[in-house]
Structure 1
Amino acid sequence: MNNAKQIKHLYARAGFGIRFEDLHDKQNWSVKKGVRKLLQASERVEQLNAVTENIDLRPKPYRDQTEEERRIINLDRNRQERALNDAWIKQMSNTEAQLREKMTLFWHNHFACNVGNSYYQQELNNIQRANALGNFKTMLLQVSQTPAMLQFLNNQQNQKNRPNENFARELMELFTLGRGHYTEQDVKESARAFTGWAYSGKDGTYKFNNNTHDNGTKTFLGKTANYCGEDILNIITDNKQTATYICTKLYRYFVNEVPDDARVAQMADVFYKANYEIKPLLEHFFSAEWFYEDKNIGNLVKSPVEFLVGLNRQFYIDYQNPDVLMQFQRALGQVLFRPPNVAGWPGGRSWIDSSSLMYRMKIPSTILNAGLIDFTGKATPEDEAYLASQRKQQLNVVNRVKATANWDKFLKDIPAKTTHQEIAQFMLEPTLNKAAIDEVTKPGDLKTIVIQVVSTPEYQLC
């Protein structure tokens, strides 16, 4: 049985897309085998190790630094930020553990965090990666105790008699229960339970400071005791609303922007009964017939990172200047490790507006063909002048972008006798419309046709 459509959809969602050679090998797999193989490929954890020095642990206080010392530290911070960003993009672009990286990207936005310390950001990202397919409760505790999150949500300042409610509020509103499932009093009481949660300024490790912890009785979500932070996390995850909240976000991320309450309820049952183990939940909905319904195919907008990584994987792109990838991220509105706020990137249709869509549609030709538009037919003298200017512009693009696609490998992967229309349908998730069919069936060389296909609005969907 040829399951090419389902396998292609599975890899578009559970990974960053599938290549011709891979689909040719996998098109006769059952969906269950595809899910099993994706999970097996993601068993290994490949931690990022781009940042090896914690600049915040330099001993000299900021006020005692000279202008030159501050300048050097800022240069080091920028260098570390670029190195970390580049390392993760490369890992997503090259790894066989696609599902683990796709889930790490989900948790990266779920536990959105933006601090100027790349060492702490890397640590948080590696915790999300290690637990991405593991247990949500384990990850929740570990994430909550990272220097990055304690710093970002001000729990360093959360002390008895002077509670800071920021972490307690975002924990419930954005990480677990969702708005409307707790009271302001619950925020106040849980903030007291998290007093004393801090990290050491000397070595950057988590420590519990009993001297600043409020040991008084707290009442939280209807229960009363002398709670500490771990107790609050347990009470929150005992509440099935947490499973429902997480599953709603996963449904929007993997299935459809409009949640189906009945499907989400099924997912929440699986997740809650599995004691928040993530793998059984993924197996449940990736294997469900409804995941492969036409209404759930080609209906999600790729995030900028998914778009760039998908291009990298499909065309084996090598960037000699990694800064260009950060520039693309900035222009498209998603710089890794720099979410806009604690709620993260809103995602979905908000990724696209008129200017970002035009920019997205230009990026493939910029990378794959140095921005040059191919003209067919005999050129007039006026065209010759235009083409000469285009060639000069192309040289400028090549020098600036410094990216090379492995066209030989890409074209070699395409099975013999594949029509232009079949290639276009493979490259795009939505069903081809008549305009697209007319465009790709025109005479032209294969490379030009492929660049046209990945420069369409439809290519922005997965």
Structure 2
Amino acid sequence: MPYLDTFTGNWTAKEARHLLKRTTFGVAQNLVENSVSLGLSGTIEKLFEENSLPEPPLKYQLDGIGNNRINDPGANYGETWVNSPAYPNVDTSQERTRIYLSRSRSLYAWSFLQMQNAELSIREKLTLFWHNHFVSENTNPHREYYYMDVLRRNSLKNFKELVKQITIDPNMLLYLSGSQNTASAPNENYARELLELFTIGKGVALGNGDYTNYTEDDVIAFAKVLTGWRVRGLQLEDTLTAFFSNFNHTKGSKQLSHRFNNAVILENGENEYKDLIDIIFQQDECSRFITRKFYKWFINAEISEDIETNVIVPLAKIIRDHQYDFVPALKILLSSDHFFESTFCMVKSPIDLMLSATKSLLFSAPKTSIYDEYNFAYILYLAATDLNQSLFHHPDVAGWKAYYQEPLFYKSWINSYLLPKRLEYCKIIVTGGDLLIDEKKYTVPPLIPVLEVATSIVNSQDPNILITELSNQLFNYPISASQLSALKDILIPGLPDFEWTVEYSMYLNNPSDNALKISVDNKLRNLISVMVQMSEFQIM
């Protein structure tokens, strides 16, 4: 497997950044240094460690009257609302709606904080992968939280077992009409997506209702197998678990087509769905289907015949050999020569872009208060949403277009409308400013500690070293001499190098001089704001 041979080149900061950019969100310099010291194999093992799960999201808005306040009896400020009743006992539906909106804001901000605060771990990147694979949407923040919790808990576990959990998850049962699928009124919605989007793929049409991997008759039979699963209304207790109604289940055996070797699924009540999923996963195409998804997420959107033969097929076999535990295959892929040759071919998703700007430039979420911390993260959520990547709210059940829609794929993140917004958001993270999202203004202070960024670079009083090291951190490959010259002209317009050396050295020797501090800060902020708007920062 020459494509999948383990990378044997020099393990430097460049290779570490490439691996960490693809497997985490944004790369702080300390993580790069840690990875270099660990080596490739040590970094891979660290990335796939199963860390403790995060504490649940908190109520971050105060009760009372006025801006940024909400009357939510489900939790005190600074406590989690997750365990409170999913149907708040309040006087009006308007009050309930406001509470749901407040809890949703908390959940969305908290989700960004998990990505922002993650260290050397692939878990959050895989959680987002599964979130995009098993698309599900609900307006109740409790169901959204517990759905995402299933994905996070299983992000490094078994693909087949995750499919079984998702199939009877209340969020999915509601989203794809599984709770409406009964013996008297069959609904094929989830059965179809289970096959086409979640497990095996459709393939090409080979006849009337006959595709490469299943038939329309299989969809009908699958729907019958899946009948009987229900979700209680929010007004009742225990609203966050599904239950099986034998009365609503289609009895008897279900015959599958030649695509599944004419298998027969015997009557098995509430466990029948597990038998169905076991049969789906007997097909080798399941492993190839999920391997292609991983490849598009971590490597490249375009899969040639060569890649199919030399990467997808052998990795898929490894997944099958491990009974659909996929981590061994992912470790091989991310350690391979092929992975380290696949550089600069991916346009950053909006989430990757936002967190590249914050984490790569040493920004940490404010700790002055829970409100400040969550509000910062919520603004990042809004910005990513405005750039067409909204957590919990995909455009359709197939997920974000960048990972499936030919021929654009990742290029769908950038167009004449989105690109100016991307550049402006990157600039505002560095310089501060007003974000206008859905006709509402959000004032963002300058977030990046540019003085700290500069002092973390050895010999940063030399403008050539400063700019070169910044470009290495942000772009992960060398800039040209003309680019270096142009960026230096941003830092010290029309002035010789020693002007920066003198001023910056004076600041280092006298950091309490406020006028010097402001002058150096402004120069650095202008430089870095230009760098994060360069096309080199938009790709990874």
Q: What TM-score comes out, normalization by structure 1 length?
A: 0.86
1:246 counterpart residue number: 290
CA distance in 2, matches of 1:7, 1:97: 11
1:401 aligned residue (422, 441, 444): 444
Kindly indicate whether the alpha-carbon contact (under 8 Å) linking 1:361 and 1:457 is maintained by their aligned counterparts in 2. no
Residues 71-105 of structure 1: CA deviation (Å, up to 9, x unaligned): 11111121111111000101110122531000001
Question: Partner amino acid for 1:218?
Answer: K
One-letter code aligned to 2:365: D
Pick the aligned partner of 2:394 from 317, 333, 339. 339
**Aligned partners of 1:3 and 1:31 also within 8 Å:** no
1:26 is aligned to 35
Return closer, same or farther for 1:449/1:405 CA change in 2, 3 Å cut-off.
closer
- Structure 2 residue 441 is the aligned partner of structure 1 residue 432: no
Deviates most, 17-26 or 141-150: 17-26
Name the Cα RMSD after superposition: 2.5
SS of the counterpart of 2:230? strand
Q: CA separation in 1, counterparts of 2:221 and 2:230?
A: 18
* Amino acid paired to 1:425: N
250 and 399 in structure 1: CA distance in 2 versus 1, 3 angstrom threshold? closer
| 2:433–2:444 CA contact under 8 A, matched in 1 | no
State the 1:431 CA deviation.
5.2
**Deviation string, structure 1 residues 159-186 (Cα, Å, up to 9, x no partner):** 1131100010011111011112111110
- Mapped to 2, the partners of 1:399 and 1:112 lie a distance apart of 29
Of 423, 426, 440, which aligns to 2:470? Answer: 423
> Would you say the 8 A contact 2:457–2:469 is kept in 1?
no
More off after superposition, 74-83 vs 120-129: 74-83
Mapped pair 1:15 → 2:59: no
1:16-75 Cα offsets, whole Å, 9 max, x none, are 2322233234335432122112223x5332253444256654579xxxxxxx71111111
Alignment-derived partner of residue 391 in structure 1:
none
Return 162-171 or 424-433, whichever deviates more. Answer: 424-433
Mapping of 1:26-45 within 5 angstroms?
26-40=35-49, 42-45=50-53
- Cα distance in 2 for partners of 1:49, 1:279 equals 28
Q: Cα offset for 1:437?
A: 3.5
Q: Is the 8 A contact 1:38 1:98 kept in 2?
A: yes
Q: Which residue of 1 aligns with 2:167?
A: 144
Q: Which amino acid aligns with 1:345?
A: W
Distance 1:179 1:450 in 2: 46
Question: 1:461 maps to which residue?
Answer: 539
Structure 2 distance, partners of 1:206, 1:447, is 52
Partner of 1:394: none
Of 342-351 and 164-173, deviating more is 342-351
Q: Which amino acid aligns with 2:455?
A: K
Q: How does 1:190-229 map to 2 (within 5 A)?
A: 190-201=222-233, 202=236, 203-204=238-239, 205-220=241-256, 221=260, 222-227=262-267, 228-229=272-273
The unaligned stretches of length 5 or more in structure 1 are: 61-67, 373-396
Are positions 1:270 and 2:318 aligned together?
A: yes
Checking the alignment, whether the CA contact within 8 Å between 2:255 and 2:264 is kept in structure 1 is yes
Query: In structure 2, what is the Cα distance between the partners aligned to 1:149 and 1:403?
Result: 40
- What secondary structure, in the 3-state scheme, does the structure 1 residue paired with 2:255 have? strand
**Quick one: which amino acid aligns to residue 534 of structure 2?**
T
SS at match of 1:276: coil
Shift of 1:6: 1.4
**Corresponding residue for residue 369 of structure 2:** none
Greater shift, 183-192 or 323-332, is seen at 323-332
Distance 1:265 1:177, change over 3 A: same
* Residues 300/47 of structure 1: CA separation in 2 closer, same or farther (3 Å cut): farther
SS of corresponding position for 1:291: helix
More helix by share: 1
Asked whether 1:127 is paired with 2:127, we answer no
Moved more, 6-15 or 448-457: 448-457
The 1:104/1:275 distance shift into structure 2, 3 A limit, reads same
CA drift of 1:411 comes to 2.9
Q: Which amino acid aligns with 1:121?
A: E
Instruction: Encode CA deviations 1:399-439: one digit per residue, 9 max, x unaligned.
Output: 72246333344333323354412321321146535653342
Gaps of 5+ in 2: 1-9, 59-80, 204-212, 367-371, 403-409, 435-439, 493-522
Measure, in 2, the Cα distance between the counterparts of 1:318 and 1:357.
25
Where does residue 330 of structure 1 map in the other structure?
A: 385
**How has the CA–CA distance of structure 1 residues 434 and 177 changed in structure 2, closer, same or farther, with 3 Å as cutoff?**
farther
The number of residue pairs the alignment matches comes to 429
Partner AA of 2:383 in structure 1: F
Counterpart CA distance in 2 for 1:45 and 1:420 is 38
* In 2, Cα distance between equivalents of 1:208 and 1:54: 25
- Does structure 1 retain, via aligned residues, the 8 Å contact 2:318–2:328? yes
Map residues 9-408 of structure 1 onto 2, 5 A cutoff.
9-40=18-49, 42-46=50-54, 48-50=56-58, 51-52=81-82, 57=87, 69-96=92-119, 98-180=121-203, 181-201=213-233, 202=236, 203-204=238-239, 205-220=241-256, 221=260, 222-227=262-267, 228-259=272-303, 260-262=307-309, 263-293=311-341, 296-314=342-360, 315-318=362-365, 320=372, 321-322=375-376, 323-347=378-402, 348-371=410-433, 400-402=443-445, 404-408=447-451
Q: 2:387–2:418: 8 Å Cα contact kept in structure 1? A: yes
- Partner SS, residue 48 of structure 2: helix
CA distance in 2, matches of 1:414, 1:21: 12
Query: Distance in 2 between the 1:171 and 1:402 partners?
Result: 45
Distance 2:284 2:483 in 1: 46
Q: What is the rounded CA distance, in whole Å, between the counterparts of 2:485 and 2:171 in structure 1?
A: 52
Residues 99 and 73 of structure 1, relative CA distance in 2, 3 Å threshold = same
Q: Residue deviations 1:363-405, cap 9 Å, x none? A: 1221211259xxxxxxxxxxxxxxxxxxxxxxxx997224633
Deviations 1:91-144 (A, max 9, x none): 110122531000001001001111111111110101100110111112111122
Instruction: Answer yes or no: is the 8 Å Cα contact 2:143–2:170 preserved in 1.
Output: yes
Q: Distance in 1 between matches of 2:39 and 2:280?
A: 38
